[in-house]
């Protein structure tokens, strides 16, 4: 305790052995000396008013001028005021601290005990394995985290930003020197070189890896926390968000992925994690995986029932009726932890945390039922396994019961083997959902009823998200209607929605005639599917011209064909006999 005794007994504070480490003015060190003298006498907290009146000569209220000295010492982290909690020190005014008390910080007590704030690092030796290397890198991540807290100015940051930076520089240099003399390749460094990750991407990767090793509460999975680790200022934070957006290197090359979670404010936040195969490669570099995780799309290629769909549009890309959007948002909110906890407490849900929803999308052809289903999957970051129900009778005559059950059994098997939760999309499900025949009918009627009974049974047991699309709802069997907890109608778009569809679907990079407006086009009662078809047909026609400019007249001609009896009006073309 010689440094502590020296500090509180010295007459001239500039001669104290720890003076250079404090990096303060003499009048500031004088305040620290007074606080420490009281501390060793058992007085843990010292009133700020006492400090001002005891340490400085004054007349009247001139002692108030020295409040800035106490405030600066708090900013430096040498003294702390406990009652402010998580309020930023920078946001506390000088007068607010006048009638409070302060105490020596952990940093000051450590300095007084050890006599120096210099970092004493062990001797530089080669890394013996990747775990030694990771421990050093995890210390770097922890330092970056403390620095981000210190930059925000919270009172619980015990080390000043300058000292943290110094320690970070020393530790980073030490890692670099150890790597130079290490003969055996370090798997993480090899991976960084292979993927050509820059320093910011490496820090994000290491933070997520630290989370996996520590089994913590997920603080380094949060998007904002990760961005703060690698950012110097607010501008840097804005720039670095691109590293964690869709299309970034880390996500597009399937190094990391994320889950979208509803937060307490009603917004959606992202929680990031390392992809399973990457994680296994790092954690067990010398272990060959006996079981390889199979990709769902590859598994689907080996069977004939399902079509694999990887969504490319999310719900923000679809023009939806507000009520439809509201229902879909309700489904998505099942992912929220608080919502799940309530449903579980009420006995509505069991231990399964995923979304459970059996949905019917019904409405005219071309109104966006399938696109919405696929876009919902994209929003939920899930693939889609689609089955065309119109094929069921032709495919399975004579074995309807067995093969309808097989649809659901194979769906479960594929999901389990690929370790994913795809959405099951049953397109054109009229065959399954229509009213069953009563009384004695033909063998075809019996087969149809039998098939529907099995289908009803499977829907009852289904876990996950099932979406059935149909053009007609009036003919749906009531037993089926009860099994679907969401029934969403897709109406033909009104003029306002049609206008949005035209704007959304028209090619962005094309040339349009002067005065081109979609107002004229939106007058025609078209579905989204029809608008898409008209745009494509018009594009084929315009593309062959030397001057490829889209004109209102081009679209009106295609609209007339689509809405008119084109099969009757078109001139017959073929061989003349």
The pLDDT of residue 566 is 43
Does residue 320 sit in the same domain as residue 363? yes
* Contact between 85 and 62 (Cβ < 8 Å): no
Domain-terminating residue out of 490, 514, 531: 490
E strand residue ranges, 11-97: 46-47, 79-80
Does residue 73 sit in the same domain as residue 197? no
Does residue 325 sit in the same domain as residue 459? yes
Does residue 481 sit in the same domain as residue 336? yes
Question: For residues 252 and 565, which has the higher predicted lDDT (pLDDT)?
Answer: 252
The pLDDT of residue 122 is 64
Cα–Cα distance for residue pair 125/174, rounded to 1 Å: 9
3-state SS, residue 327: helix
Structural domain of 216? 130-283
Residues whose CB is less than 8 angstroms from the CB of residue 3 and which lie 6 or more positions away in sequence, other chains included: 17, 18, 111, 112, 113, 114, 115
Query: Helix, strand, coil % (nearest 5) of the chain?
Result: 55, 10, 35
pLDDT 10s digits, 454-511:
888 888 888 889 999 988 766 677 777 788 888 888 888 889 989 999 998 999 889 9
Instruction: Report the candidate in 399, 389, 400, 475 with the shortest Cα–Cα distance to residue 425.
Output: 389
pLDDT beyond 80 at 213: yes
In a domain, 229, yes or no: yes
Instruction: Report the candidate in 449, 359, 355 with the shortest Cα–Cα distance to residue 404.
Output: 449
Check which CATH number belongs to the domain holding 518 and give it: 1.10.8.60
78 — alpha (psi -120 to 50), left (phi > 0) or beta?
alpha
Q: What is the mean pLDDT of residues 96-104?
A: 87
The pLDDT of residue 110 is 83
Question: For residues 462 and 87, which has the higher predicted lDDT (pLDDT)?
Answer: 462
pLDDT beyond 90 at 337: no
The pLDDT of residue 322 is 83
- C-alpha distances out from residue 575 to 108, 443, 456, 572, Å: 98, 45, 52, 10
pLDDT beyond 50 at 446: yes
Cα–Cα distance for residue pair 516/504, rounded to 1 Å: 15
Does residue 216 sit in the same domain as residue 279? yes
pLDDT beyond 50 at 574: no
* Contact between 344 and 336 (Cβ < 8 Å): no
The pLDDT of residue 74 is 84
Does residue 562 sit in the same domain as residue 530? yes
In a domain, 164, yes or no: yes
CA angle 499, 505, 508 (to 5 degrees): 110
In a domain, 383, yes or no: yes
Beta-ladder partners of 465: 357
Instruction: Report the candidate in 127, 121, 171, 123 with the shortest Cα–Cα distance to residue 146.
Output: 171
Does residue 139 sit in the same domain as residue 70? no
Using the CB atoms, write b or e for 272-310: b if 16+ within 10 Å. Answer: bebbeebeebbbeeeeeeeeeeeebeebbeeeebbebbe
In a domain, 348, yes or no: yes
Question: For residues 243 and 401, which has the higher predicted lDDT (pLDDT)?
Answer: 243
pLDDT beyond 50 at 263: yes
Q: What is the mean pLDDT of residues 182-186?
A: 90
Residues whose CB is less than 8 angstroms from the CB of residue 528 and which lie 6 or more positions away in sequence, other chains included: 319, 366, 367, 368, 371, 493, 501, 505
Check which CATH number belongs to the domain holding 350 and give it: 3.40.50.300
In a domain, 290, yes or no: no
Q: How confident is the model at residue 37 (pLDDT cuts 50, 70, 90)?
A: very high
The pLDDT of residue 292 is 47
The pLDDT of residue 158 is 42
DSSP 257-305: EEEEEE-TTS-EEEEEEE-HHHHHHHHSTT---SSPPPPHHHHHHT-SS
In a domain, 539, yes or no: yes
The pLDDT of residue 559 is 93
Beta-ladder partners of 357: 465
The pLDDT of residue 570 is 39
The pLDDT of residue 156 is 41
Using the CB atoms, write b or e for 73-90: b if 16+ within 10 Å. Answer: bbebbbbbbeebeeeebe
In a domain, 53, yes or no: yes
Does residue 252 sit in the same domain as residue 396? no
Identify the weakest region by mean pLDDT among 143-157, 196-210, 228-242: 143-157
Cα–Cα distance for residue pair 415/373, rounded to 1 Å: 18
Rounded CA Rg of the chain: 34
Task: Give the dihedral sign, CA 70/73/75/80.
Answer: negative
Using the CB atoms, write b or e for 397-421: b if 16+ within 10 Å. Answer: eeebeebbeebbebbeebbeebebe
434 — alpha (psi -120 to 50), left (phi > 0) or beta?
beta
Q: How confident is the model at residue 342 (pLDDT cuts 50, 70, 90)?
A: confident
366 — alpha (psi -120 to 50), left (phi > 0) or beta?
left
pLDDT 10s digits, 481-491:
788 888 888 88
Question: For residues 188 and 447, which has the higher predicted lDDT (pLDDT)?
Answer: 188
The pLDDT of residue 279 is 87
Give the percent of the chain with pLDDT over 70.
Answer: 83
Domain-terminating residue out of 231, 252, 283: 283
pLDDT beyond 90 at 111: no
Does residue 153 sit in the same domain as residue 214? yes
The pLDDT of residue 230 is 92
Classify burial at 519, counting beta carbons within 10 Å of its beta carbon; exposed 0-12, middle 13-18, buried 19 or more: exposed
Cα–Cα distance for residue pair 252/271, rounded to 1 Å: 16
Instruction: Report the candidate in 49, 47, 51, 2 with the shortest Cα–Cα distance to residue 29.
Output: 51
Q: How confident is the model at residue 287 (pLDDT cuts 50, 70, 90)?
A: low
E strand residue ranges, 152-295: 256-262, 268-274
* Contact between 8 and 36 (Cβ < 8 Å): yes
pLDDT beyond 80 at 28: yes
Does residue 477 sit in the same domain as residue 548? no
In a domain, 268, yes or no: yes
pLDDT 10s digits, 120-168:
556 788 998 888 999 999 999 998 988 887 665 544 444 456 667 778 8
Does residue 340 sit in the same domain as residue 483? yes
Tokens in use for 71? Answer: 């405030």
Q: Give the mean pLDDT of the chain.
A: 82
Does residue 237 sit in the same domain as residue 341? no
The number of folded domains in the chain is 4
The pLDDT of residue 290 is 47
Tokens in use for 203? Answer: 């820090």
The pLDDT of residue 577 is 32
């Amino acid at each position: 305790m010689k440094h502590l005794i020296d500090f509180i007994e010295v007459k001239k504070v500039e001669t104290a052995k720890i003076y250079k480490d404090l990096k303060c003015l003499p009048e500031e060190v004088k305040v620290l000396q007074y606080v420490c003298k009281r501390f060793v006498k058992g007085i843990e907290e010292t009133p700020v008013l006492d400090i001002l009146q005891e340490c400085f000569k004054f007349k009247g209220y001139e002692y108030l001028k020295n409040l800035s000295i106490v405030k600066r010492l708090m900013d430096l982290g040498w003294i702390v005021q406990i009652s402010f909690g998580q309020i930023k020190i920078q946001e506390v005014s000088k007068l607010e601290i006048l009638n409070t008390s302060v105490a020596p910080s952990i940093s000051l007590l450590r300095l007084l005990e050890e006599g120096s704030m210099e970092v004493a690092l062990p001797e530089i030796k080669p890394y013996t394995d990747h775990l030694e290397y990771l421990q050093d890198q995890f210390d770097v991540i922890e330092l970056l985290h403390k620095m981000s807290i210190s930059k925000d100015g919270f009172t619980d940051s015990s080390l000043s930003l300058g000292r943290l930076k110094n320690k970070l520089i020393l530790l980073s240099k030490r890692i670099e020197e150890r790597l130079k003399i290490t003969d055996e390749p370090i798997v993480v460094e090899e991976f960084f070189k292979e993927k050509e990750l820059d320093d910011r991407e490496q820090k994000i990767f290491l933070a997520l890896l630290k989370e996996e090793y520590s089994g913590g509460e997920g603080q380094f999975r949060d998007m904002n926390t990760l961005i703060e680790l690698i950012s110097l200022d607010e501008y840097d934070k804005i720039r670095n968000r691109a590293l964690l957006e869709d299309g970034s290197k880390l996500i597009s090359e399937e190094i990391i992925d994320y889950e979208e979670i509803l937060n307490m404010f009603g917004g959606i936040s992202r929680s990031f994690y390392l992809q399973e195969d990457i994680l296994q490669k790092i954690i067990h570099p010398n272990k060959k995986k006996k079981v390889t995780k199979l990709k769902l799309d590859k598994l689907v290629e080996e069977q004939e029932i399902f079509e694999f769909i990887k969504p490319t549009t999310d719900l923000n890309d679809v023009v939806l009726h507000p009520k439809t959007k509201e229902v879909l948002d309700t489904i998505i909110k099942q992912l929220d932890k608080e919502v799940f906890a309530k449903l579980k407490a009420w006995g509505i849900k069991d231990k399964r945390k995923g979304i459970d929803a059996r949905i019917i999308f019904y409405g005219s052809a071309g109104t966006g039922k399938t696109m919405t289903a696929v876009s919902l999957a994209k929003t939920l970051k899930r693939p889609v396994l689609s089955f065309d129900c119109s094929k069921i009778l032709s495919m399975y005559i004579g074995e309807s019961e067995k093969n309808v059950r097989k649809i659901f059994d194979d769906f479960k098997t594929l999901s389990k083997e690929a370790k994913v939760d795809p959405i099951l999309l049953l397109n054109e499900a009229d065959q399954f959902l229509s009213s069953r025949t009563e009384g004695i009918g033909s063998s075809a009627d019996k087969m149809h009823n039998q098939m529907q009974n099995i289908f009803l049974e499977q829907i009852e047991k289904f876990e996950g998200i099932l979406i059935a699309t149909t053009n007609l709802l009036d003919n749906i069997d009531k037993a089926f209607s009860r099994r679907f907890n969401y029934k969403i109608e897709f109406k033909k778009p009104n003029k306002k929605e049609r206008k949005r569809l035209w704007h959304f679907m028209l090619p962005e990079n094309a040339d349009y005639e002067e005065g081109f407006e979609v107002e004229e086009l939106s007058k025609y009662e078209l579905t989204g599917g029809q608008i898409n078809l008209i745009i494509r047909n018009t594009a084929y026609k315009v593309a062959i011209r030397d001057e490829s400019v889209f004109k209102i007249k081009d679209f009106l001609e295609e609209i007339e064909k689509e809405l008119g009896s084109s099969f009757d009006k078109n001139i017959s073309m073929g061989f003349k006999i």
